[in-house]
Amino acid sequence: MPELRTVQLAGDWEVRVTPVPPHASFKWVKAHVKYPDKPPKPMVEMRSPLLPPDAPAESAPALPDTPEWDAWMLELQNWQEQCDKVREAKADEEMEFSLDYAVMDWRKSGTEDPWQSEPAADWEPRSALERHGVDVGDNRRLAFIHYELLAQPENYDLIVYAAFPKGEADMSPITEEEVNAALGNFRTGSGVSRESRNMGTTPEAARPKGQAAHQNVSIRQGDATGRRKANLARRLVFLVSGK
């Protein structure tokens, strides 16, 4: 039986919520988010003065602060922007997966009614949606979650906090000190310090961060899960280290 947390929602409902495993979020991203290929690290030809003049040139990685390196950094910035657009385009689908997984069942607050994991047979979304061309999709369960359980805006955050427990819901702003600390890990040459090589390995960093949206999940464009601090460090590592 998965871990369950009963959440009292604003309004008439209470729900049982289970955390979304990081691995599930990672696998969802791998299955549904297709990123463009990352620009390869630049190589330059070098001729050693110790070899005969007719010896073939050797290839070596370009060094920082060279034209080849600078051009590659521009390519990486362009590529990262493309990746951000790809991930943003999938944010709604990713959120639907997370809600469908996390919300186990529900019942009316203050009752001993049995928990229900599917909407009642006679439940339908408000007809105003259809009249105004709003497509609620074929998944009645998700429609019930969106239009009944989440009818009150504050319920959204209540469920998300239960779905992504401590460590996954840091909503505080990124400070300048944190940015500098993340940037300070990078060095010339390999582009990433030894201390940074293990960063960005969690599913939220699942951008090819593997998440990164676990920070896996983009919710209200970062409002609810708010894994912005972790994503910043992961993105920096991902961008420069080539991982």
* Domain residue ranges of the chain, discontinuous segments joined by +: 5-33+90-241
Beta strands in the chain (DSSP E): 5-8, 13-17, 43-46, 58-61, 103-108
Q: Is 124 exposed, middle or buried (0-12, 13-18, 19+ CB in 10 A)?
A: middle
Say what the pLDDT of residue 179 is.
Answer: 46
Contacts of 188 (CB under 8 A, 6+ apart): 63, 64, 65
pLDDT digits (tens, 9 = 90+) for 6-23: 999 998 999 999 999 999
In percent, how much of the chain has pLDDT > 70? 67
Cα distances (Å, whole numbers) of residue 166 to 30, 161, 227: 24, 8, 11
- Contact indicator for 218, 207 with CB cutoff of 8 Å: no
Cα distances (Å, whole numbers) of residue 106 to 4, 16, 96: 12, 6, 17
Return d(Cα 31, Cα 125) in angstroms, integer. 30
Give the pTM. 0.62
- What's the chain's average pLDDT? 75
DSSP single-letter state for residue 1 = -
Q: Please determine, for residue 213, whether its predicted confidence score (pLDDT) is greater than 60.
A: no
Cα distances (Å, whole numbers) of residue 18 to 6, 10, 28, 89, 188: 9, 19, 17, 26, 44
Of 47-56, 152-161, 173-182, 189-198, the one with minimum mean pLDDT is 189-198
Say what the pLDDT of residue 196 is.
Answer: 35
Beta bridge partners of 105: 16
pLDDT digits (tens, 9 = 90+) for 34-66: 999 999 999 988 777 777 777 777 888 999 999
Say what the pLDDT of residue 166 is.
Answer: 66
- Contact indicator for 8, 90 with CB cutoff of 8 Å: no
Q: Please determine, for residue 208, whether its predicted confidence score (pLDDT) is greater than 60.
A: no
User: Which two tokens mark 68?
Assistant: 């080849």
Of 70-84, 117-131, 176-190, 216-230, the one with minimum mean pLDDT is 216-230
